[in-house]
């Protein structure tokens, strides 16, 4: 293989430029906002009012349409944060550290939603808000990991060091992700196994899983929107004296 074939594609290096990223994210942002709003509204309305009730759980199963996307996103965001952190460490890319940092609050939010909606769903289904079962406990650990990374970030005032520390903690913390995913298979748990995977046909009828697909996609778009917004803010803060930013229409208003 020639040396040039090992080079990273052009867009990869462009993403590392704060100016380029700021502009590109500005173009994407409104599209993600529209997609998130549309998909989440459509999915939630369908799930709440039009999907048929579950033959065993009755109407409480409708919580699935917010609980499952939150649980999927809580893990995806953590992996995304670790990947962005690793890119930052390997290629010394400041924008990647900013992306990783932007993932913390939204990831913690989705984890909190998954935990609380899961607890509320547990009451009519299992008769208890909380049980110390493997899936629930490993998700609680994930929330503590997010909280730890958030605290670490706020404790270190030097942005570059905070970025590196976030990256390392996120990479180490990914060990928890397969534990959450396979907890329902490795241990005897009260939590049901996945009824929705990318590889297999869903075990429920279309009018039940399509709203779920919409809320999952909508949640991914929402995550992208918030990460772009937060990363752009960090770019503005770090580049405050740069001439490209001073002349940008967001500053000049023209």
Residue numbers of the site for other proteins (CB under 8 A)? 40, 44, 48-53, 58-60, 62-63, 66-67, 70, 105-106, 109, 112-113, 116-117, 120-121, 123-124, 222, 225-226, 229-230, 232-234, 236-237, 240-241, 245-246, 250-252
Alpha carbon distance 103, 115 (integer Å): 18
Helix axis angle, 64-91 relative to 206-238, nearest 10°?
40
What is the smallest separation between the CB atom of 66 and other proteins, expressed in angstroms?
4
Q: Of the two residues 12 and 129, which places its CB atom closer to other proteins in the complex?
A: 129
Least distance in angstroms from the C-beta of 223 to other proteins: 9
- Cα dihedral 48/49/54/57 (nearest 10): 50
Query: What residues are paired with 54 via a beta bridge?
Result: 58
- Expressed in angstroms, the distance from the first to the final Cα of the chain is 49
Question: CA-to-CA distance for 57 and 47, rounded, in angstroms?
Answer: 14
Please identify, using beta-carbon distances, which residue of 101 and 164 lies nearer to other proteins: 101
Name which of 134 and 235 has its Cβ closer to other proteins. Answer: 235
Q: Where are the alpha helices (DSSP H) in 174-242?
A: 176-186, 206-238
Q: What is the DSSP letter of 198?
A: S
Residue 106 or residue 214: which is nearer to other proteins going by CB?
106
Smallest separation, CB 215 to other proteins (Å): 9
Minimum gap (Å) between residue 236 Cβ and other proteins? 4
Whether the CA torsion 93, 233, 149, 142 is positive or negative: it is negative
User: Minimal distance in Å, beta carbon 187 to other proteins?
Assistant: 26
Structure tokens at 112: 């909190």
Output b/e per residue, 106-137; b: 16+ Cβ within 10 A.
bbbbbbebbbebbeebbeebeeeeeeebbbbb
Residue 230 C-beta: closest distance to other proteins, Å: 5
108 neighbors 73 (Cβ within 8 angstroms): no
Q: How far is the CB of 189 from other proteins (least distance, A)?
A: 21
CB-nearer residue toward other proteins: 101 or 135:
101
**Distance between CA atoms of residues 222 and 73, nearest Å:** 10
Q: Is 251 helix (H, G, I), strand (E, B) or coil?
A: helix
């Amino acid at each position: 293989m020639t040396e040039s074939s090992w080079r990273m594609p052009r867009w990869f290096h462009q993403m590392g430029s704060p100016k380029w990223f700021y502009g590109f994210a500005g173009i994407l942002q409104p599209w993600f906002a529209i997609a998130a709003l549309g998909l989440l509204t459509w999915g939630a309305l369908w799930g709440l009012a039009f999907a048929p009730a579950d033959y065993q759980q009755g109407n409480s199963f409708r919580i699935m349409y917010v609980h499952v996307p939150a649980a999927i996103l809580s893990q995806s965001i953590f992996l995304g944060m670790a990947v962005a952190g690793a890119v930052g460490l390997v290629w010394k890319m400041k924008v990647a550290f900013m992306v990783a940092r932007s993932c913390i609050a939204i990831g913690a939010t989705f984890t909190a939603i998954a935990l609380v909606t899961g607890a509320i769903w547990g009451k009519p289904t299992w008769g208890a808000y909380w049980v110390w079962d493997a899936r629930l406990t490993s998700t609680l650990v994930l929330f503590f990991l997010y909280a730890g990374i958030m605290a670490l970030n706020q404790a270190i005032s030097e942005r570059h060091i905070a970025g590196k520390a976030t990256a390392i903690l996120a990479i180490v913390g990914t060990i928890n992700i397969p534990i959450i995913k396979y907890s329902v298979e490795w241990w005897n748990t009260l939590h049901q196994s996945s009824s929705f995977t990318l590889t297999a046909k869903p075990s429920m009828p279309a009018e039940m899983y399509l709203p779920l697909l919409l809320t999952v996609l909508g949640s991914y778009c929402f995550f992208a929107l918030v990460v772009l917004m937060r990363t752009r803010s960090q770019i503005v803060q770090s580049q405050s004296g740069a001439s490209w930013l001073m002349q940008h229409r967001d500053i000049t208003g023209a």
